[in-house]
Structure 1
Amino acid sequence: MIWSALPQPAKADLTTGTWRPASARVIAADAAFAHEAERLQSDLAALDIPEGGEARILIGPADLVGEAYEIVVGDDVEIRVATPVGAFRATRQLLHNLRAQGAVPRGSVAGVPAVAERGIHLDAARKYYPADWIIAMLRDAADVGINVFQWHFSENEGFRLESAAFPEVVSDEHITSAEAAQIVDIARDLHIDVVPSLDMPGHLRQVLAQHPDLRLPPGTDPDDPAEAGIIGTDHALDITRPEALEFAKRLIDDMVPVFPHSTKWNLGGDEFVAFERIEDYPALTDAAHERFGAEGTGFDLLTDFVNEIAAHLRVHGLQPRVWNDGMLRSAQVPLDPEVVLTWWTNWHAGMRPVSEAIAAGHRIVNVNDNLFYYVLGENAGYRYPTAERIWEADWHPGLFPRLWGPDGQGTVRQEIVAPYPELLLGCSFAIWSDKGGPQTVEEVAAGIRAPLRAMAERAWNGGSALSLSEFTALDAAIDEARGS
């Protein structure tokens, strides 16, 4: 019998025999673990192992760090951890074995994550996802070690959180304040950090439809001076004006109380304008020259905006994060080194390489769009992620999207090898609802299951000792027993 759990432990020394008592008592040797002991007792009951009898599961303290765990299985089970989240990770290991094969192998195992963050991003703005669906997604994700939920609630096509100060921007279908409170509380109970994602100064068409006076003036195509050559900016905040900046801050201030436990915030910064032709937006060029001299560009204005919003977020105790595509491209204004870069792409030659971000001291989260972008309708040429492609790429948390090469294709490998530096915070899967119609929410849940678990396995272990067929069989066994 093998150790049947995801993610796999880093070390396993199995003996003979299995543990499957008719009943068992879960005991917390420290009050800090009492809640996890109660949770496990309830989970065991759901698997027909009621409380009672002589068999014991003891959850006790050990000289470990964070999510690390050690499990020793004999006549009793001893779980050694340093934190409640470590206890949660360890107890999921026991439950996976019981679900997959009805018993837990005897012996000892130990696990420790290769990276601190294993996340899932949900674009719940272009498409409405009901609160109960989000909660179910979080439970499934937590079961395999996902510990970050980036909640993208604002987009060009929708703003789907109730707002007290700006009710006019809220979409008809949205998450209420009461539902949001339930979601963030459940996430916290599941040891998942919620990262609000309010993209700005781009991706704001829904908001700016109600505040059109704050839109950036259109760009112009010098090769087509006629009206057809106007470059639309109905999605973009006019960052040349102080009143627009103040509006952005007030929008954030209105949303911050919705996330009382959050310590991180993604402010966006991506796809604000067509970056490859940023000089074709006269309002940006003129303002940049006025503020930063003749060498100033729209990238300097964008970076200045990001730095100021980042400072505003820190006042709220929030770590600022942005997408990478428009960053590190300014000549006059350096990006605040405390801003974390969520690295999704290098599709264009103008986008800076990962190595440049590391050299500048930026922390990074790997959101590799080649492998982990689940884009509804497979819009913009994306393909739905699969475990097969993830294994084929031999992906690990330090393997980023390829860099645009001299041949005009993404051919240059970008990789940070293990042991990973502290600047590599982790990785994330991403659901993007570019086209809401192609899949129902139920189909999305089914579609993300295997690739998300594949990422979770390889993120926790910095790769995987499992073959693809072993992973697939194990994943199916764990879920089949649960009735998923």
Structure 2
Amino acid sequence: MIWSALPQPARIDLTGGTWRPASVQVVAQSPEFAREAERLQVELAALGIPEGADARVLLHAAEDSSPGAAGAPGGVPAPGEAYEISVGDDVDIRTATPAGAFRATRQLLHNLRAQDAVPRGEVAGAPAVAERGIHLDAARKFYPAEWITRMLRDAADVGVNVFQWHFSENEGFRLESAAFPEVVSAEHITRADAAQIVEIARDLHIDVVPSLDMPGHLRQVLAQHPDLRLPPGTDPEDPAEAGIIGTDHALDITRPEAVDFARRLIDDMVPVFPHSTKWNLGGDEFVAFERIEDYPALTDAAHARFGADGTGFDLLTAFVNEIAAHLRGHGLQPRVWNDGMLRSAQVPLDPDVVLTWWTNWHAGMRPVSEAVAAGHRLVNVNDNLFYYVLGENAGYRYPTAEKIWAADWHPGLFPSLWGSEGQATVRQEMTQPYSDLLLGCSFAIWSDKGGPQTVEEVAAGIRAPLRAMAERAWNGGSALSLSEFTALDAAIDEARGS
């Protein structure tokens, strides 16, 4: 019998024999573990092990939760989630926090689901990176609250601990707004339902990161506030009306009243996320960055504000810095997508802004090395491997566990740099032990085309690649072969009945 759980522990020392008592008492040795003890008691009963005196599962507060103590690879601190499990007649779990207890108890449940027993021995694990996330574009396509909570439960089961909730897009705004009800799509999540989702996420030790993209990706919002749109760009080779570059999705960041509107939009949504500590403000695909000089409103404003060498990138960076400061005023860590960042000459990007690094598809986009040199923290959202784009839009193909294993992906492996010919040319990689700048990684669901898949088909499609990311993110790679991972994943999933 093997240790049948995902993510796999870093250290596994089995002694022979199995643990599956006729009944069990789960005991929180420290008060902070009471919720996890209660949860596990119910979950064991659902697997046919009722409460009783035949054995005990003891949740102990650990004195040392460092990666070294738990046997994790690398050298990145992982406070709270490290665990050690000893399985004999009783089960002893040692960890520093309730989140660590939750991770450890999933290990027991996976074994019981996969093989109806837990091997005796000792195991230990800790994550190679602090964040293992899932991003959901719930703006272009409506995902019911029940679907989102089920997705969170499935993701938490394999160690995902961040949910980036992208609720605003060009095609929809799908969270109830108190201050701007006119921008909200007909199908949307109410504040009451959002409150339930947020509390469920908190109970599952998942940090919710609101994603309200600006100053681009705002067509739905700006349709109701057209006076705040950026003036169109022009094609210098075709200055006639047919050569106008549309900006109906872009906020006019050259005007103070538009920037103030952006702040008020954020202020309206902040109360929906009372436990959040992070916020992704976007900053991506604001205009066609490769031709930013073709937007006269940006060029003129940049020259007026920053001198003859000022560009639209300086304006964009200044806007991001201003919104980042506003978010910090709410106690939120600001995050942005990487594609338009680090490209300004006159205005440095606030070093506290975290870069969610999704692509280097254009040669003008700056490399990861520049972000590291500037001291920016990073979240790896490798679009080549982890972009689940509905309809396989824009040339994307659905992620698979096979592709993730073939790439030998780990949290430090970013998308490759592309050259001027549109081909990947340079590998971008941070090796272990990881720098403190590498916060983690994320899988991303993008609903570019809502029709090709139902929400249930999306759930089925993301399951294997998300779990593949979770295994390799936790361990900084994996000791499992692809076939071993696939068999283990199937055993755990089949027994769960999901």
Q: TM-score range by the shorter chain?
A: over 0.9
**Structure-1 residue corresponding to 2:456:** 442
Asked whether 1:326 is paired with 2:316, we answer: no
Q: 1:360 aligns with which of 356, 359, 374?
A: 374
Partner residue of 1:469 out of 483, 493, 496: 483
| 1:84 is aligned to 2:98 | yes
Aligned to 2:72: none
**Map of 1:274-353 to 2, 5 A cutoff?**
274-353=288-367
| Counterpart in the other structure of 2:37 | 37
Letter in 1 for 2:377: R
TM-score by length of 2: 0.97
1:356 Cα deviation (Å)? 0.3
* CA distance in 2 between partners of 1:475 and 1:411 (Å): 34
| Cα RMSD (Å) | 0.6
Residues paired across the two proteins, number? 484
Specify the alignment match of 2:263 in structure 1. Answer: 249
Q: Whole-Å Cα distance in 2 between the matches of residues 79 and 53 of structure 1?
A: 18
Alignment partner of 1:403: what SS?
strand
User: In the alignment, is the contact (CA less than 8 A) between 2:378 and 2:439 conserved in 1?
Assistant: yes
Question: Cα deviation per residue 1:85-144 (whole Å; 9 max; x = unaligned)?
Answer: 000000000000000000000000000000000000000000000000000000000000
Deviation at residue 53 of structure 1 after TM alignment:
2.1
In the other structure, the counterpart of 1:23 is: 23
| 1:237 and 2:251 are equivalent in the alignment | yes
Quickly say closer, same or farther: Cα 1:250–1:378, change in 2 above 3 A.
Answer: same
Where do 5+ consecutive residues of structure 2 fail to align?
66-78
Q: What is residue 8 of structure 1 aligned with on the other side?
A: 8
- Tell me the CA shift for residue 60 of structure 1: 0.5
The 2-side partners of 1:329 and 1:187 are apart by 36
Cα distance in 2 for partners of 1:251, 1:406 equals 38
Matched residues in 1 for 2:26 and 2:202: separation?
22
> How far apart, in 2, do the equivalents of 1:223 and 1:202 lie?
25
Q: SS of 1:140's equivalent? A: helix
1:202 aligned partner: 216
CA contact (8 A) 2:362 2:420 kept: no
CA shift at 1:408, angstroms? 4.0
Q: Name the % identity.
A: 88
Partner-residue secondary structure (3-state), 2:458: helix
Cα separation, 2, equivalents of 1:225 and 1:245:
29
Alpha-carbon distance in 2 for matches of 1:258, 1:130? 17
TM-score, normalised relative to structure 1:
1.00
Is 1:402 the counterpart of 2:416 in the alignment? Answer: yes
Instruction: State the 1:57 CA deviation.
Output: 0.6
Structure 2 distance, partners of 1:185, 1:422, is: 29
Indicate conservation of the 8 Å contact 2:361/2:422, yes or no: no
Aligned to 2:409, the other structure's residue is in SS state coil
- Secondary structure of residue in 1 paired with 2:308: coil
Tell me the CA shift for residue 407 of structure 1. 5.0
Q: Residue deviations 1:40-81, cap 9 Å, x none?
A: 000000000000023011000112131000000001100001
Matched residues in 2 for 1:407 and 1:211: separation? 39
Give 3-state SS (helix, strand or coil) of 1:447's partner.
helix
The 5 Å alignment of 1:454-465 reads 454-465=468-479
Query: Equivalent residue of 2:429, what SS?
Result: coil
Q: 1: CA distance between counterparts of 2:161 and 2:424? A: 30
C-alpha distance in 2 between matches for 1:42 and 1:302? 51
Give the match for residue 73 of structure 2: none
SS of residue in 2 equivalent to 1:305: helix
Alpha-carbon separation, structure 2, partners of 1:100 and 1:418: 32
- Give ranges in structure 1 of 5+ residues lacking alignment: none
Q: Which residue identity lines up with residue 442 of structure 2 in the other structure?
A: S
Residues 413, 84 of structure 1: CA spacing in aligned structure 2 closer, same or farther, 3 A cutoff? Answer: same
1:66 corresponds in structure 2 to: 80
Give the drift of 1:409.
1.2
